[in-house]
Each structure stands twice: as C-alpha cells, then as structure tokens.
Amino acid sequence: MPSDPRSFPMMSRRALVQGGAALAATAGLGGTAQAAKDTVIGFIYVGPKDDYGYNQAHAEAAAMMKKMPGLKIVEEERVPETDAVSKTMESMIKLDGATLLFPTSFGYFDPYMLKMAAKYNDIQFRHCGGLWQKDKNPMNTGSYFGYIGMGQYLNGIAAGHTTKSKKIAFVAAKPIPQVLINVNSFALGAKSVDPSIVTSVIFTGEWSMPVKEAEATNSLIDQGNDVITCHVDGPKVIMETAERRGIHACGYHVNQAKLAPKAYLTGAEWNWITVYKSFVTDMKEGKPIPNFTRGGLAEGFVKMSPYGPGLSEAGRKNVDAVKAEMMKGGYAVFKGPLKDNKGNVVVPAGKALAETAIELESTNYLIEGVNGSIG
Amino acid sequence: MSGASAVPATAAPAAASAPPTADRWYPLRRLAEALLAPLLALVAAAALFSVFLLFLGQSPLEFVELVWRGAFGSWFSIQNTVQRAAPLLLTALCVALPGQLGLVIIGGEAAVVLGGLMATVAALPLVNTGPWVVVPVMAIAGAAMGAFWIGISGWLRAKLNVNETIASLVLAYIGLALFNHFVEGVLRDPASLNKPSTYGIGEQNMLDLVPWLEIHPGLPVGILACVAAWILIYRTSLGFASRVTGGNLRAAMLQGLPVTRLILLACALGGACAGLAGAIQVAAEFGRANASLNAGYGYTGILIAFLARFNPLAILPMALLLGGLDAAGGLLQRRMDLPDATILVLQGMIFVMILASDTLYGRIRWFQPRGGA
C-alpha cells in the first residue's frame, strides 16, 4: 500500500482496473476459484472485530492463523443471533468452500449451528461456549471454552492491593452463570487480600451498550469505588472512563492497557490461538477435532496482561505467587464455608470447587461481600 | 417537519386539480415522477459511495458485482435477502401507517419484542394442540400486543398532545426493559443458563419455509400486509380522512373528521404489524422468545418507511434493497476485507439522498398538471 497521499488517484484507478478484471474473471468462473487446496476456515463474530473485547479476542487469534501456511481465513463481524447466522454459515460453506467453522457467539449454537450441522454433515462446526453434549449433538459439532474466572480472581488480588477506599466495582452484562462466576471470583480475589473489601456490581442488561456501561462506571466511581473491572462484550468505554476519572482498572477479554495506560493494573485475557492451533494441527494430521475442549490458565486458554504501573511490588508478587499455584492445576477459588450476600450457605464447609466443578455452571448467587442483586 | 413533508405531495394537487379531462396524462407523469426521484437519489448515492470506495482503495465495480451476487445472484442469495427483508416489511408499516397522519413513530422495536414475547406466552399453554391452533393464536396475541404498545403513543398524542416521536422512543426503552425483565425473570426456562430464554413453543408448532420456494414465511404475510395497507390508505374513505388529517390537522378537525380515533387506529394498526413481525420471527426462527428478537428490525423499518415515502407498495422494493445489502454485507467483508460498517455508510448515503430528493417533487414543470388557462 503506498503511503504517499499523492499516489491516491493512481492507486484508485488501478483498483478500478483490477476490479474490472476481477469482475470479468469471476463472471466466468462462478467466483469460488481459490489457491490450490487451502483449508478454508470461517470465523463469525456477533460484534465488531475491533471491540477491544470478546470479538477482538477471537479476531486476534484469527489474524495469527492468517499467517499460517495452507490456511485461508474468512471472517464476518456483527452477525446477529438470528437466522442471519445460518445464512452466513451457509454462505461461507457454499461460496467460500469453508470446511471448518467457528461461530463464536453463545446464541449461535441452538438452533442455528445445529441446523446447519445437520444439513452439511461433512463440515466441521466448533462453537465457543461449552454447550455440546455427546448424547444430544452431532459429531461434526463441538464446543470449546476457557475458565477465565481464575483470571478474574487474579484481577481481584491486584485490585485488593491497589484500592484505598476498600471499595471496588464490577460492570456486568447479564446475571448469567458465566458472568456471576467472574464477579464472585473477582470479589474473592480482593477479599483474599483484605476481607473487608466490598465489591459493587451493576448489571447493564445488555452485552454491548456503551452508554449504559459509561453511566454505570461513572456512578460506581462517584460512590467511591477506586478499582473497576467488567464483563461486557466491549470493555472499551469502561477502561477509558476509569483512566479519565483517575481510578484503576483491571482488563477483561483482551489487553486494554492501550486504552488506560495509567489506570491498567492487569487483565484476564482469552488466548484462543491455543485452541485454534491445536484444532488445525489435528485436522492436518487427519485426526478428528475434539468435540469438547476446555482449559484455563494452565492449559494456555487464558492468560494475564502484563502489569501496569499502578500495581505495587507487593501486589505483583502476590498475583505471581497465586498464579504459580494455579498453573499446577486443580486450584479452587470457591472454598467452603462460603455464603451468598443474602446469608445462605452456597458452599458448605470442607468443600472446595475447582474451576472444572460442574456446580459452578449453574451459579445463581453473588457471594458475601458483593453489593448488588441479581433479582 | 419531515413527517409532514414526506406525506405524498401528490395528494394535494389531485384534490385541487382542474377539470379531470383537461390533462389525461397527468397521472402517468405523476407516476413517472414518483419513480424517477428515488431512482435519481439511488444513482447519486451510488456515485457518492463509489468515491468513498476509491478513497479506501477499493473497486466500485467489484463492490457492485459482490452485492449482486450476495443479494440476488443465486436462489440461495435471494432466500438470504428475503429472509432479512421479511420482518422489515411489517416493521416499516409500523412507521408508514401512522405516517399518513403526519405522525413519526420510531418505537417499533418494542412492539416487535413484546409482540414476540406475548405470542410465545399465548402459545405456551397450547403447545399440544398443534400448529393450526398455535400459529393463529400467536399471530393474534403478537399483533394485539404490538397494537397496544404503539397505541399508547397514539393515545398520548391524541389525548394529551405528547410528542409521539419522543413517547414512542421512550416507550421502546421501557418495552425492552420489560422484555428483559420477563425473559430473564418469571418466564425464563431454567435450562437456558447462559442465554436466558422462555420455554419453547415446540418444534412441531413452528412455521416452515414457504414450500417449493423455501423462503421465509414472513414474506407472503408482509406482502399481503403492504397491499392491504395501500388499499386502506388510497382506496378507502378512512385512508382519505387520514391523509387529509396528515396534510392539515386543523382543517381536518374543522371538517369534523374523527381525528382522535384516526390517530389511535393508525398507531394500533402499525403496532399490530410490528407485533406480528415479532410473532412470526418466534414462530419461524427462534421457537422461543429471547434477546435474538431484539435485532434492530424495528429501527431498520423506520429507514425503509422513509425511503418508501410512507407508501406501502414502495416499501416492498425498499425492504428488498436493504435486505439485499444486508445479505451481501457478509460477502463484502469476506472478499473485499471491508468492515461491516461499510454497508451502514452506504445505507446512510441512500437515506440522505432519498430525503434530499423529496425537494425534487413539483420542481420539474413537465411532471406538473397542465391545462386550465
């Protein structure tokens, strides 16, 4: 790409001519002509690829895969969880020749992906979210997901070392188990540093609604909270607001240090390339791609952002030490006796729930020390 | 403002025209004018957008080719386009019908989600009675809910003189909040852990694709609704009274037209269309009510109604145009590496150009009625 602005008209004319040639060529060929036998992999995102969040985490991995030989990556962003995604999948199969599809949003699975998988049973579908069940779902489908709650626990430790007001905050999308695990983990991490720390949570009700997220962030800061994290699709506005208001922030989904250079402490990030690379390796070796894959920090599905300038030496050491424990596997964040914020015992004494515990997947409570309600 | 000016300017000259025999070709020229203005606007938008693409270093020709292929080039593409256009036909009517009275209703999104929710709720006790009972009940429940919700805005306008645009927008936020409250609360199927949804209406009760054509079942419903709305507006005294009211409210009141009733009726009918769209989406696509209903059909409907200048028959091509752009959007992302927002830029340009083309009406003398002196 020429960077000299004067070359613009030249380039445009060339683009026009190329376009014309491409038109002539595709008109004759039907347009599916591809470089010999590249494996075509399709990625589908529910939001924009550059949302500094959930979708970007996948798109970053897709961008890395584009550089791998023998692969052709096709992507589509902002595809709603309606039949539109069925058409996108079908279009990728029919027009692009995709043989492996990654519909990455939770709501794509049922009924859209399952219907397409039944219709195209020689195509592989892997869904991000962990819904696949062996006795119910076809073998050309599957799911993968990561235990990112551990990362939020580490975020909580960093927040616990940083807060001066002993009040920290969480902006959450919807009160569903995945989100509640993150809120509880963050609160427990902070309480491991100082049991008096209170975590306030606000649910915006939507996966992506920047206006509400900014309002929630501002009102949480006005209430005296001085460290914030979140679980929404695009944390951009929350990080920027934290930076502008001079408090600290812990990231989620991807590294948001660029948005909040002073405020950023650390962050819980997805590392999807681990999953995608292993799927592609299996495919190339002719092995079946696993139908059900999960992992956390130890498996490299999740990683932590590098520390920002706001995190003290003691804080860094504490996070490092707990992380090292987690890397050994089997680390339990939820240890009994544990009460919810209404006083009910949710984990009895003597019981410890590791990240893999099935009980956690129906979490419907906020733990003691969390200020907020899911009703 | 825009609402009043968008009411077909053709109404006034028709009423005021001199002896009908004096200018036999005037209706045809009027039709030509109505076709030419949007066509010119589309050409202008395309030219503007080409410049935009050239600045991005992309070829407009390739763009056009991909849009054609993605939207209309094969039967698969046409199915794709129709599926996206089907709910838009009905949500555009939610704007176009009150639009006849000069009202600008922009809260159709809430009528869609609440209509879909009510349709689901009505279907749940009947799941074992079979689709011949369930589907009509869903349609009635969805339409009734939509009619009620948009009817509130109409009532506020007619009785309390509250601005209907603001009222419907605010009610849209309230409607969405209510929807989330019920779907994530009392109506939630506890098995839907991470995507809160209601219980399903049952696979056996869902609407199939239109047989043989394999297209979205909302399309025939939408077409029928548009044709019926056109007849209602241009071929009945009720529609005539509505257009008179839209043209001049005070004159209509002086004539003794039942303005309040007309406003309530137009809002309720429009809301019923949007509610029906929600019911159909549940019956044809989702099988249950959840956040998928909140996919922006109501908002795209506003755009289409304005593009169609509130004429229900013009809604058909405009919905296909926007549905087609939407359908082609994916191919554009994949082949030209353009962000999804590119299609929004094009939509915006079309919208501005069509609105600007409104000023063309009546400016070109050749199209105007002749004779008299």
What token pair was written down for A278?
């292993």
Question: What integer pLDDT is reported at residue A17 of this predicted model?
Answer: 43
Q: How confident is the model at residue B312 (pLDDT cuts 50, 70, 90)?
A: very high
DSSP reduced 3-state for B283: helix
Q: For residue B127, which of B34, B200, B218, B209 has the smallest C-alpha distance?
A: B200
- A52 conformational bin, left if phi > 0, alpha if psi -120 to 50, beta if neither: left
CA B149 to CA B276: how far, in whole Å?
12
Q: What are phi and psi of A290, to 5 degrees?
A: -60, 150
**B185: chain A residues, CB-CB within 8 Å:** 375
Q: What is the mean pLDDT of residues B133-138?
A: 96
The answer to whether the CB atoms of A23 and B61 lie below 8 A apart is yes
Q: What is the mean pLDDT of residues A34-58?
A: 89
Question: What integer pLDDT is reported at residue B366 of this predicted model?
Answer: 81
CA A14 to CA B276: how far, in whole Å?
49
For residues B86 and A32, the model is more confident at B86
Enumerate the domain spans of chain B. 59-337
Q: What is the mean pLDDT of residues B185-208?
A: 89
On the question of pLDDT at A25 being above 70, the answer is no
Q: For residue B354, which of B88, B31, B37 has the smallest C-alpha distance?
A: B37
Question: What integer pLDDT is reported at residue A216 of this predicted model?
Answer: 97
What token pair was written down for A47?
């939001």
Answer for the pair A32, B74: CB distance below 8 angstroms, yes or no. no
Question: What integer pLDDT is reported at residue A207 of this predicted model?
Answer: 92
Question: What integer pLDDT is reported at residue B368 of this predicted model?
Answer: 79
Question: What integer pLDDT is reported at residue A21 of this predicted model?
Answer: 43
- B23 conformational bin, left if phi > 0, alpha if psi -120 to 50, beta if neither: beta
The tens digit of pLDDT for each residue in B202-255 reads: 989 999 888 888 889 999 999 999 999 999 999 999 999 999 999 999 999 999
Q: What is the mean pLDDT of residues B315-335?
A: 92
On the question of pLDDT at B8 being above 70, the answer is no
Q: What is the mean pLDDT of residues A245-266?
A: 97
- For domain B59-337, which CATH number applies: 1.10.620, 2.70.98, 1.10.3470, 3.40.50? 1.10.3470
Q: At what angle do helices B75-99 and B131-160 cross, to 10 degrees?
A: 40
Residue B12 burial (C-beta neighbours within 10 Å; 0-12, 13-18, 19+): middle
CA angle B231, B233, B238 (to 5 degrees): 110
User: Locate tokens 């879909």: which residue?
Assistant: B116
The tens digit of pLDDT for each residue in A50-108 reads: 999 999 999 999 999 999 999 999 999 999 999 999 999 999 999 899 999 999 999 99
Query: Is B288's Cβ below 8 Å from some Cβ in A?
Result: no
Measure CB to CB from residue B65 to each of A26, A80, A177 and give the nearest one: A26
The answer to whether the CB atoms of A82 and B286 lie below 8 A apart is yes
Q: Compute CA distances A281 → A298, B167, B233, whole Å.
A: 20, 56, 63
The answer to whether the CB atoms of A19 and B184 lie below 8 A apart is no
Answer for the pair B340, B74: CB distance below 8 angstroms, yes or no. no
On the question of pLDDT at A282 being above 60, the answer is yes
Q: What is the mean pLDDT of residues B150-168?
A: 96
Paired residues of B188 in beta bridges: B198
On the question of pLDDT at A9 being above 80, the answer is no
CA angle A365, A366, A367 (to 5 degrees): 115
Measure CB to CB from residue B62 to each of A23, A81, A87 and give the nearest one: A23
The tens digit of pLDDT for each residue in A208-254 reads: 999 999 999 999 999 999 999 999 999 999 999 999 999 999 999 99
Question: What integer pLDDT is reported at residue B313 of this predicted model?
Answer: 95
Q: What is the mean pLDDT of residues A269-285?
A: 94
Q: What is the mean pLDDT of chain A?
A: 90
Q: What is the mean pLDDT of residues B51-65?
A: 92
Distance from the Cα of A73 to chain B's closest Cα (Å) equals 9
**A204: chain B residues, CB-CB within 8 Å:** none
What token pair was written down for A55?
């979708």
Question: What integer pLDDT is reported at residue A36 of this predicted model?
Answer: 53
Q: For residue B107, which of B173, B180, B178, B182 has the smallest C-alpha distance?
A: B173
Question: What integer pLDDT is reported at residue A133 of this predicted model?
Answer: 87
- Of all residues in chain A, the percent with pLDDT exceeding 90 is 82
| CB contact set of B224 (below 8 Å; sequence gap of 6+) | none
Question: What integer pLDDT is reported at residue A253 of this predicted model?
Answer: 97
Answer for the pair A239, A249: CB distance below 8 angstroms, yes or no. yes
Question: What integer pLDDT is reported at residue A375 of this predicted model?
Answer: 67
Distance from the Cα of B117 to chain A's closest Cα (Å) equals 16
**A148: chain B residues, CB-CB within 8 Å:** none
For residues A130 and A307, the model is more confident at A307
Question: What integer pLDDT is reported at residue A360 of this predicted model?
Answer: 92
Give start and end residues of each alpha helix (H) in B236-372: 237-247, 249-254, 259-281, 297-307, 312-336, 341-357
The ipTM value here is 0.82
DSSP reduced 3-state for A316: helix
Question: What integer pLDDT is reported at residue A18 of this predicted model?
Answer: 45
Task: Provide the chain B residues 207-226 that lie in CB contact (below 8 A) with chain A.
Answer: 216
Q: How confident is the model at residue A263 (pLDDT cuts 50, 70, 90)?
A: very high
The answer to whether the CB atoms of B340 and A78 lie below 8 A apart is yes
Answer for the pair B362, B368: CB distance below 8 angstroms, yes or no. yes
The tens digit of pLDDT for each residue in A308-327 reads: 999 999 999 999 999 999 99
Q: How many CB atoms lie within 10 A of CB B257?
A: 17
Number of inter-chain CB pairs under 8 A, A vs B: 111
Q: What are phi and psi of A114, to 5 degrees?
A: -65, -40
Q: What is the mean pLDDT of residues A22-34?
A: 42
On the question of pLDDT at A164 being above 90, the answer is yes
Q: How confident is the model at residue B28 (pLDDT cuts 50, 70, 90)?
A: confident
Q: What is the mean pLDDT of chain B?
A: 89
Q: What is the mean pLDDT of residues B309-331?
A: 93
pTM, entire model: 0.85
CA B101 to CA B91: how far, in whole Å?
17
CA A57 to CA A325: how far, in whole Å?
25
Question: What integer pLDDT is reported at residue B241 of this predicted model?
Answer: 94
Q: What is the mean pLDDT of residues A161-187?
A: 96
On the question of pLDDT at B373 being above 90, the answer is no
Question: What integer pLDDT is reported at residue B360 of this predicted model?
Answer: 80
| Residue type (1 letter), B58 | Q
For residues A51 and A129, the model is more confident at A51
Q: What are phi and psi of A366, to 5 degrees?
A: -110, 135
Q: How confident is the model at residue B270 (pLDDT cuts 50, 70, 90)?
A: very high
What token pair was written down for B293?
């209903």
Of A20-24, B40-44, B195-199, B200-204, the range with the lowest mean pLDDT is A20-24
CA B136 to CA B113: how far, in whole Å?
18
CA B155 to CA B92: how far, in whole Å?
20
On the question of pLDDT at A11 being above 80, the answer is no
Question: What integer pLDDT is reported at residue B6 of this predicted model?
Answer: 44
The tens digit of pLDDT for each residue in B10-25 reads: 444 444 444 555 677 8
CA angle A291, A292, A298 (to 5 degrees): 135
Element (H, E) at B2: helix B2-6
The tens digit of pLDDT for each residue in A334-350 reads: 998 999 999 999 999 99
Measure CB to CB from residue A76 to each of B83, B292, B334 and give the nearest one: B334
Q: What is the mean pLDDT of residues A168-189?
A: 96
